[in-house]
Amino acid sequence: MTISHSGIEAIIEQTTDTALQNIAIKVKNKERINQTEGILLFEKGELGFLGSLANYIAQDLHQNKVYFNRNFHIEPTNVCVFTCHFCSYSRVYKHRDEGWELSMQQMMDIVRKYDNEPVTEVHIVGGVHPKMNLEFFCELLRNIKTHRPELHIKGFTAVELDYMFRKAKVTVEEGMKIMNEAGLQSLPGGGAEIFAPEIREKICADKVDGAGWLHIHETAHQLGMPTNATMLYGHYENYAHRIDHMHQLRELQDKTNGFNCFIPLKYRSGDNDMSHLGEVSLVEDMRLYAIARIFMDNFKNLKAYWPMLGRQSAQLSLSFGVNDLDGTIDDTTKIYSMAGAEEQNPAMSTEDLCNLIKSVGKTPVERDTRYNELKNYGLNEQI
Ligand code: V47
Ligand code: SF4
């Protein structure tokens, strides 16, 4: 669905609620909405209204394009010193026999498996293992770079980095520089969860707090490393907490312009300490994507991570402001399948991804990690 300039005029005209109408006018004029208005969208904005505004913005930023990249994941371990209550994936150290701990050789075997594949990025993320330290991961980074120098390494959440740096007794600035020199080029967005201390306390009390997460990302940006940002939603948080989280990210982006994209992550309730909460509905998911697109005006890209959301919902999100579907991924990530996501072995070929994008009238474009366009798979382009 494309919302033209006259289309948004019609939306403005048809909206009877004055506050919502003012928001629509701001969107048309490319003006930023404030936190009160963000909360109002959650409280009052109905799906069609939100979708129309989000689509208008996405169309303006990206025309009809939807990005994806070719990547694979390495999950070094699921053994973790932390005990986030939403996590279905981790195992504590004393139960490490139930989990996995990959050796250097095993991780390099994963890298070598893709030797003849046109992948552009490796995404490394896992549990916080008490014995896998800064030195070990720097060696991994160097080994990957020696083996395949052009492969972009995006790795380690702020939670993993915070633990590694504290254990190695280096500052965030020193640690980040060491990792960067060893080959780390960008950071994924994980570990942000929800910044509000009263909710963070409830779901992941023992890991790095919101200010610490933001500091690590700011430091990466200062070194010229782009990063992503996530938000875990659909648990104990209310609308004000969501807007506060997005507001803090928006403020840092104003300062550094170092974020590549924003990735809302829907809480999945399978087999963890918070399972009793259940999950929010598909309509809530789409409303959230649309509001994120409207509120995060300085984030160029909004990503739906399909292994977590499921491919059909991810496809639907393309009509609610989303312009990026992450990657082909192969079947190398377990974090969501263990939390009950529909995708038990998430793998999609380039052809599958392109067809999924084309079937909602959008144009698939392969990108690299920094969102440089590598190939446009327009309607008649051979896959
Ligand atoms: O921080 C863990 C989330 C994150 C659950 O930057 C859960 O490109 C929902 O951040 N339900 C890690 N979410 C993964 C992550 C990520 C994934 C894909 C791409 C990128 C990127 C980043 O996964 C954690 C946490 O927020 N998570 N358990 C769960 N039960
Ligand atoms: Fe550990 Fe990450 Fe799971 Fe938290 S979400 S328990 S930090 S693996």
Atom of ligand 1 nearest to the CA of 189: 6
Surface-to-core class of residue 199, CB atoms within 10 Å of its CB (0-12 exposed, 13-18 middle, 19+ buried): buried
Residue nearest to atom 4 of ligand 1 (CA): 190
**Which tokens hold the place of 257?**
């312009």
Give the tens place of pLDDT for each residue, 298-336.
Answer: 999 999 998 888 889 999 999 999 999 988 766 555 655
Q: CA distances (Å), 65 to each of 248, 296, 351, 354, in order?
A: 28, 19, 16, 11
pLDDT tens for each residue of 35-49: 999 999 999 999 999
pLDDT at residue 257, as a whole number? 98
pLDDT at 331: 53
Coil, strand, or helix at residue 205? coil
* Statement: residue 243 has pLDDT above 80: yes
pLDDT value, residue 345: 63
User: Nearest 5°: CA angle at 190, between 215 and 250?
Assistant: 55
Q: For a substitution probing ligand 2, which of 78, 86, 90 has the most ligand atoms within 8 Å of its CB?
A: 90
Separation of 59 CA from ligand 1 center, angstroms? 27
Section 113-117 average pLDDT: 94
Region class of 361: left (phi > 0), else alpha (psi between -120 and 50), else beta: left
Which domains occur in the chain, in start order?
A: 5-62 (no CATH), 65-376 (3.20.20.70)
Q: What is the pLDDT of residue 292?
A: 98
pLDDT one-digit tens code per residue, 2-18: 667 668 999 999 999 99
Beta sheet of 121-124, edge-to-edge order: 71-74, 121-124, 152-155
Tell me, what amino acid is at 128? V
| Residue from 73, 75, 79, 89 whose mutation best tests the ligand 2 pocket (most atoms within 8 A of CB) | 89
**Predicted pLDDT at 124:** 97
The residues, ordered by sequence, that sit 6+ positions from 32 with a Cβ below 8 Å of its Cβ are 26, 297
pLDDT more than 70, % of the chain: 92
Ligand 1 is surrounded, with C-beta below 6 A, by 86-88, 125, 157, 188-191, 193, 228, 230, 232, 263, 265, 267-268, 272, 305, 326, 335, 339
Please, which residues bridge with residue 65 across strands? 363
